[in-house]
Amino acid sequence: MVAFVAVGSNIDPERNVPAALGLLMSHEKVTAVSTHYRTAPLDRPEQPPYVNGVWRVETQRVPRSLKHGILRAIETRLGRVRTGDAHAARTIDLDLIAYGDVVSNEPGLLLPDPDIERRPFLAVPLVELSPEFRLPGRSERLADHSVCRRAHELAPMPELTRRLKEMLGS
């Protein structure tokens, strides 16, 4: 199954993002990484900017196992502390944002991630990896959605992106 994982970090991202990719590669087949971008923190202008991107993963795991068994374990290993504050700074944030055509409204497992249509730092890298991507049940390509016209809000990080792609051998 093809899954897409969004990555974000605003605590030492130059170290934590590659470390997270390496750890994920030890468990799953990561087949592509998008351009990574520097983005403003949501609702917290006092925080440092985030680094955001998306990774394409081929997996045999069911969504809940991938999210809670692998992604959350990597976050914990890299020092992520979850609090009640959804906008707190973080060493690493790994979110399962799409998993094939699966639609899930289970608590703790919303697929596809409803923020894809609102946040360019999710939509733009996702479209880079899958230009024909359509949200399940939709005829419109995500690339044609208005959120992708907000790419100007993202600042590409070519050096970090190059390092991550080299880790994949691409």
Is 169 part of a structural domain of the chain?
no
Catalytic residues: 80, 90, 93, 95
Give the pLDDT of residue 42. 82
Residues of the chain with confidence (pLDDT) below 70: none
Please check whether residue 168 lies inside any domain of the structure: no
**Does a structural domain hold residue 167?**
no
Count how many domains the chain has: 1
Give me the pLDDT at residue 39, please.
94
Predicted pLDDT at 58: 98
Query: Hunting for tokens 């080299």 — which residue is that?
Result: 166
The CATH number of whichever domain residue 117 belongs to comes to 3.30.70.560
Range 84-122 burial, b when 16+ CB lie within 10 A, else e: eeeebebbbbbbbbbbeeeeeeeeebebbbebbbebbbb
Q: For residue 123, what are the domain limits? A: 2-161
Report pLDDT for 88: 86
The torsion angle over the Cα atoms of residues 35, 146, 50 and 43, rounded to 10 degrees, is 180
For residue 166, being part of any structural domain is answered with no
